[in-house]
Amino acid sequence: MNPRDLDELLSARDLPPLPPGRVGQIERAVLADLKPVRPLAPAGAYLAGLAGIFIAVCAAGAYIAGQYGWLVLSDLQRIAVFVPLAAVAAVLVFSLVRQMSPGAKHTRSSALLAAVLFSLLLVGMIAVFQPAHEHAFVAMGLGCFRMGMIVAMPAAFLFVLLLHRGAAVSPALTGAAAGGLAGLAGLAVLEVRCPNLNLYHIIVWHISVVVVCMIAGLVFSSVTFRRWRSNQ
Amino acid sequence: MSRYQQADSAAASELIDRLSPQLYRFFAAELGNADDASDMLQEAWLRIHRVRHTYRPGEPLLPWLYAIARCVRVDSFRKRRRIASREIGVESLPERAAILGGAPAVPGFDELIATLPQSQREVLTLLKVNGLSLEEVARATSSSVGSVKQKAHRAYERLRELLQGAEAKKGAVP
Residues B81 and B120 occupy one common structural domain: no
What are the C-alpha distances in Å from A61 to residues A86, A150, A152? 16, 9, 9
Q: Does B92 map to a domain? A: no
Q: Does B119 map to a domain? A: yes
Q: How does pLDDT run across B81-110, given as a tens digit for each residue?
A: 777 777 655 444 444 444 444 444 455 666
Residues B73 and B145 occupy one common structural domain: no
Residues B136 and B82 occupy one common structural domain: no
How far apart are the C-alpha atoms of A22 and A24, rounded to whole Å? 5
Phi, then psi, of A36 in degrees rounded to 5: -65, 140
Residues B164 and B121 occupy one common structural domain: yes
Q: Does B38 map to a domain? A: yes
Please tell me the distance in Å from B93's CA to the nearest CA on chain A. 23
Mean pLDDT of B63-74: 89
This complex has an ipTM of: 0.76
Q: Which of B52, B87, B122 is the last residue of a domain?
A: B87
Q: How does pLDDT run across B5-15, given as a tens digit for each residue?
A: 888 889 999 99
Indicate the pTM of the whole model. 0.81
Residues B78 and B130 occupy one common structural domain: no
Q: Which of B37, B58, B87 is the last residue of a domain?
A: B87
CB A165 within 8 A of CB B52: no
pLDDT of residue A229: 59
Give, as one character, the DSSP assignment of residue A32: T
CB A82 within 8 A of CB A187: no
Please tell me the distance in Å from A39's CA to the nearest CA on chain B. 4
Q: How does pLDDT run across A198-227, given as a tens digit for each residue?
A: 999 999 999 999 999 999 999 998 888 766
pLDDT of residue A143: 92
pLDDT of residue A129: 93
Is A112 within 8 Å of chain B by CB?
A: no
Q: Does B135 map to a domain? A: yes
Residues B21 and B73 occupy one common structural domain: yes
Q: Does B95 map to a domain? A: no
How far apart are the C-alpha atoms of B106 and B164, rounded to whole Å? 9
Residues B79 and B9 occupy one common structural domain: yes
Cβ neighbours of A18 in B, within 8 Å: 20-21, 24, 38, 41
pLDDT of residue B73: 86
Q: Does B94 map to a domain? A: no
What are the C-alpha distances in Å from A10 to residues A7, A100, B25, B29, B130? 5, 34, 13, 10, 11
Quote the number of domains for chain B. Answer: 2
Q: Which of B87, B114, B138 is the last residue of a domain?
A: B87
Q: Which of A6, A30, A102 sits opposite B156 (nearest CB)?
A: A6
* Spans of chain A, pLDDT less than 50: none
Residue B165's closest chain A neighbor by CA?
A1
Please tell me the distance in Å from A72's CA to the nearest CA on chain B. 43
Percentage above 90 pLDDT, chain B: 6
How far apart are the C-alpha atoms of B107 and B170, rounded to whole Å? 11
Phi, then psi, of A130 in degrees rounded to 5: -105, 140
Quote the mean pLDDT of chain B. 79
Give the CA count within 13 Å in the CB-facing half-sphere of A145. Answer: 16
Give, as one character, the DSSP assignment of residue B6: T
CB B53 within 8 A of CB A39: yes
Q: Does B74 map to a domain? A: yes
B65: pLDDT strictly greater than 70: yes
Q: Does B93 map to a domain? A: no
Give, as one character, the DSSP assignment of residue A74: -
Phi, then psi, of B106 in degrees rounded to 5: -95, 115
The domain that contains B128 carries what CATH number?
1.10.10.10
The domain that contains B55 carries what CATH number?
1.10.1740.10
Is A32 within 8 Å of chain B by CB?
A: no
What are the C-alpha distances in Å from A161 to residues A33, A46, A147, A158? 25, 11, 22, 5
The domain of B113 spans: 102-174
Q: How does pLDDT run across B119-140, given as a tens digit for each residue?
A: 888 888 888 878 888 888 888 8
Is B114 within 8 Å of chain A by CB?
A: no
Residues B70 and B15 occupy one common structural domain: yes
